[in-house]
Amino acid sequence: MSGQDKRVQDAAHAPREDFVKGPTVIPFGPQHPVLPEPLHFDLLLEDEKVLGAIPQIGYIHRGLELLVEKRDFADYVHVAERICGICSFMHGMGYCEAVESLLGLPIPDRARYLRTFWCELERVHSHLLWMGLAADALGFESLFMAAWRTRELVLDVAEETAGGRVIFGSAIVGGVSKDPSDETLARCIKALALAREEVKRLSMVMLQNITVRHRLEGVGVLSADAAYALGAVGPMLRASGRAYDARSLGYAAYGEIGFETVVETAGDCMARAIVRAREIEQSFAIMDKVVAAIPAGPVSVPAKGMPPKGESFARLEQPRGEVVYYVRSNGTRNLERFRVRTPTFANVPAMVEAMRGSSLADVPTIVLTIDPCISCTER
Amino acid sequence: MTEQHNGSIIPIEIGALLPETDALRSAGWRLVQVLCVGSADGAELSYSFGLDLEMRSLRVTVPAETPLPSVTAIYPGAFLYENEIRDLFGVRIERIAGDWEGKVYDVAMGKLFSKVSIKAISSEDPGAATGGAASMGGAL
Amino acid sequence: MSSIERSPWLIHYDASSCNGCDIEVLACLTPVYDAERFGCIVTGDPKQADIFLVTGSVNHLNAPIVKNIYDQMPEPKAVVAIGACAYSGGVFAECYNVSGGVASTIPVDVYVPGCAAKPESILDGVVRAAQILKEKEKAMRATRKAERKGRKAEGAQR
């Protein structure tokens, strides 16, 4: 008997009061029109009001952390990049940063700048992707299309500089594998300036449109204390008024380039949208600075020998928030343990909290404003 | 810079886990992650906490079959980590607020759309609630 | 009959992909690549869909969901498996929670190569699937016609 048949049978034999009393349970997902990825909630409703949500993950769990035992530590970057196709470069780079700190391997300056450039490029493409999907969830089809058209300009730059559209494939242990010339970078900055103008226009539409504001303002409010206590990260935490951005750690070239942490205080869906819109603008500025200041020189150093026995963490700021990598070596070519705590994994408890008390029609909006990445979460 | 990423790792006894965690929470630290490394004779858990840019990890070594208290009463958001660790590593973490009963990644097909009994969630007594959502609200 | 070939409706499900192929599928539907110029439109309802786009490999948890979506689609239907994972598991083939490509659960008509698959090749896969749909519909009609003929002959005999 299949699972569903069993469920129907169980329900048919359940005591009558289970149906009459208590909240209505509405399954949300895994295959749902607003979700590009499978995520499931059991929403407990009283009329239209959400009393609680029980998240369920596991549909795309692959178990890639264990694969580190079978692959050479330098080859595992390919797997790390595919933790998630949206922040692929940052995943590859985060793994490399952790391994490099284990090896005690400083990377060349040009590689650090290029990493920063690609990180910000990825942030722009991810936030634009989010803007499109959020618009789609709100029924704002033309903004969805416009955001994705602009995103293609950014992906063209990615393809030209790194060689891949979504999986960049340019992070390696000891630096980066691609070295775009200064002329290429200058040309890319020109192309990005076009995208920047377009994004400004789109952000204005997104943040000032009366319908969008009506759907986002005051919806899914998360207080600063709740966000902090539940371990939320990224725009989710910053929109609630806590200024924490892992880029302040100064990894790659952020120490030299500098940036400003974007904070909003309202804690609702609108605040999260504003944080992302402001971050896109800032990312363009960071890329300009990187290209203006990029030093000449080699882009990688060979990673010789085995990683020594030991362990290391690395923390980065992804588009969705802080990510934590952990590697442990036993002195052989295959690492003993690799672990990644992704931003969506940390944001799930806060998302559930934000949903409580909202109405059923707002659930897709709330889910979309945390910008869930399920592939990251389940690995 | 490596130092900043790694932070300090402090080995502690199982008994000291809850008091130490509670002290960190009172001092305003947030839970960054819970990490588990399996070994032949048990597991090693690292609870990482962050305050601004600083990171500090408490490390507990748990022999096989030894029960470990849950930190969800202090940090309600830890329920996802603890469920995952129990499912993937078999560490006996006890009294998780929001117990998924071993179904984080492997859901029995018979209960595809439900993990926690609905009755427990809707119960008015928060102490009886075992669902993540309900008990988390109580702990805040 | 050309109605289906000229306006196939698509449904997309992410089995256990890394997202790379999924966002490329979405990119196909937006202005630059614009699959809608072939008459395609994405639907969330399997019962209205003609072409099933699957990304990622199958595991024991999502296999019934993939099968369920496939079973709910009306005949004729075509399946496009997108990316290396949907073919064999790709880089994740050795992972413990990956049971193989999409073909281990449902019949696949078109494979789109790549990791992640490029929008151009996904478009190509969709166009091919539309041709396959046309052939399948032709075959369906022929079978029905033969059945009708058979019934008529039976009636005449009686």
For residue range A142-177, list pLDDT tens digits in order.
Answer: 888 899 989 999 998 988 888 888 888 888 888 888
Residue B6 burial (10 A CB sphere; 0-12, 13-18, 19+): buried
Rounded CA separation A246/A315 (Å) = 7
List, in sequence order, the alpha helices (H) in A234-268.
Answer: 235-238, 254-257
What is the pLDDT, as a whole number, of residue B103? 60
Of A18, A54, A324, the CB nearest to B133: A54
Mean pLDDT of A208-213: 87
Task: Return mean pLDDT, chain A.
Answer: 83
Residue B140 belongs to some domain of the structure: no
Rounded CA separation B55/B7 (Å) = 5
What are the structure tokens assigned to B98, written together? 């929001």
Residue B11 contacts residue B61 (beta carbons within 8 Å):
yes
> What angle is formed at CA C130 by the lines to CA C128 and CA C136, rounded to 5 degrees?
105
List, in sequence order, the alpha helices (H) in A104-181.
Answer: 109-138, 141-161
Does B41 reach chain C within 8 Å, measured CB to CB? no
What is the pLDDT, as a whole number, of residue C68? 86
Say how many Å lie between the first and final Cα of chain C, rounded.
34
* Chain C residues lying within 8 Å of A165, measured CB to CB: 24, 116, 118
Residue B137 belongs to some domain of the structure: no
What is the pLDDT, as a whole number, of residue C81? 92
Rounded CA separation C54/C111 (Å) = 10
Distance in Å, alpha carbon of C1 to nearest chain A alpha carbon: 28
What is the pLDDT, as a whole number, of residue B113? 32
Q: In this complex, how many residue pairs, one in chain A and one in chain C, have their CB atoms less than 8 Å apart? A: 122
Of C20, C92, C98, the CB nearest to A85: C20
**At CB < 8 Å, which residues of chain A contact C?**
2-3, 30-33, 36-38, 58-64, 66-67, 70, 78-79, 82-86, 88, 129, 132, 144-146, 148-149, 151-152, 155, 164-167, 373, 375
Which residue of chain C comes nearest to B110, CA vs CA? C61
Confidence of residue A124 (pLDDT cuts 50, 70, 90): very high
* Pick among C61, C65, C95, C98 to test the B interface (most B CBs inside 10 A): C61
Mean pLDDT of A24-35: 70
Residue B54 belongs to some domain of the structure: yes
Distance in Å, alpha carbon of C126 to nearest chain A alpha carbon: 18
Residue B126 belongs to some domain of the structure: yes
More confident residue, B126 or B67: B67
More confident residue, B118 or A44: A44
Task: Return mean pLDDT, chain C.
Answer: 85
Residue A149 contacts residue A191 (beta carbons within 8 Å):
no
Q: In this complex, how many residue pairs, one in chain B and one in chain C, have their CB atoms less than 8 Å apart? A: 5
Confidence of residue B3 (pLDDT cuts 50, 70, 90): low
> Which residue type is seen at A241?
G
More confident residue, B5 or A145: A145
Query: What pTM did the predictor assign?
Result: 0.82
Sign of CA dihedral A313, B49, A60, B83: positive
* Pick among B84, B106, B115 to test the C interface (most C CBs inside 10 A): B106
Mean pLDDT of A37-63: 76
CB contact under 8 A, B105 and C97: yes
Which residue of chain C comes nearest to A81, CA vs CA? C18
Distance in Å, alpha carbon of C73 to nearest chain A alpha carbon: 14
More confident residue, B45 or A23: B45
Which residue of chain B comes nearest to C59, CA vs CA? B106
pLDDT surpasses 50 at A55: yes
Query: Position of tokens 């840019």?
Result: B53
Indicate the number of domains in chain B. Answer: 1
Mean pLDDT of B114-132: 34
What is the pLDDT, as a whole number, of residue B107? 43
CB contact under 8 A, A32 and C44: yes
CB contact under 8 A, B55 and A315: yes
Residue B135 belongs to some domain of the structure: no
> Which residue type is seen at C50?
D
Neighbours of C70 (CB within 10 A): 20
The interface predicted TM-score (ipTM) is 0.79
What is the pLDDT, as a whole number, of residue C79? 92
Q: Domains, chain A, ranges and CATH? A: 66-378 (1.10.645.10)
Residue A189 contacts residue A181 (beta carbons within 8 Å):
no
Q: Which of A4-18, A188-202, A308-322, C96-110 has the lowest mean pLDDT?
A: A4-18
Distance in Å, alpha carbon of A210 to nearest chain B alpha carbon: 32
pLDDT surpasses 80 at A13: no
pLDDT surpasses 80 at B89: no
Sign of CA dihedral A264, A267, A269, A270: negative
CB contact under 8 A, B122 and A51: yes
Residue B136 belongs to some domain of the structure: no
What is the pLDDT, as a whole number, of residue A36? 66
CB contact under 8 A, B105 and A378: yes
What is the pLDDT, as a whole number, of residue C80? 92
Distance in Å, alpha carbon of C57 to nearest chain B alpha carbon: 16
Of B31, B118, B133, the CB nearest to A352: B133
Mean pLDDT of A298-324: 85
Mean pLDDT of A47-54: 78
Note the CATH architecture for domain C2-157.
Answer: 3-Layer(aba) Sandwich (3.40)
Which residue of chain A comes nearest to C24, CA vs CA? A166
Query: In 3-state terms, what secondary structure has residue A294?
Result: coil
pLDDT surpasses 60 at A140: yes
Confidence of residue A7 (pLDDT cuts 50, 70, 90): low
What is the pLDDT, as a whole number, of residue B117? 33
* Chain C residues lying within 8 Å of B109, measured CB to CB: 64
Tens of pLDDT, residues A279-293:
999 999 998 888 888
pLDDT surpasses 80 at A75: yes
**DSSP 8-state code for residue A198:** H
Residues in a beta bridge with C99:
none
What is the pLDDT, as a whole number, of residue A1? 46
Residue B112 belongs to some domain of the structure: yes
Domain that holds residue B115: 2-130
Rounded CA separation B48/C66 (Å) = 38
Residues in a beta bridge with A341:
A324
CB contact under 8 A, B132 and A2: no
Residue A58 contacts residue B104 (beta carbons within 8 Å):
yes
> What angle is formed at CA C33 by the lines to CA C32 and CA C36, rounded to 5 degrees?
110
pLDDT surpasses 80 at A134: yes
Name the residue ranges covered by the structural domains of chain C: 2-157
**At CB < 8 Å, which residues of chain C contact B?**
61, 64, 97
Q: Which of A51-60, A79-88, A175-184, C31-40 has the lowest mean pLDDT?
A: A51-60
More confident residue, A60 or C20: C20
* Pick among A26, A46, A56, A115 to test the B interface (most B CBs inside 10 A): A56
CB contact under 8 A, A86 and C19: yes
More confident residue, C134 or B114: C134
Confidence of residue B120 (pLDDT cuts 50, 70, 90): very low
Question: What is the edge-to-edge ordering of all strands in the sheet holding A337-341?
Answer: A310-318, A321-329, A337-341
Question: Can you give the CATH number for the domain in which B58 is found?
Answer: 3.30.460.80
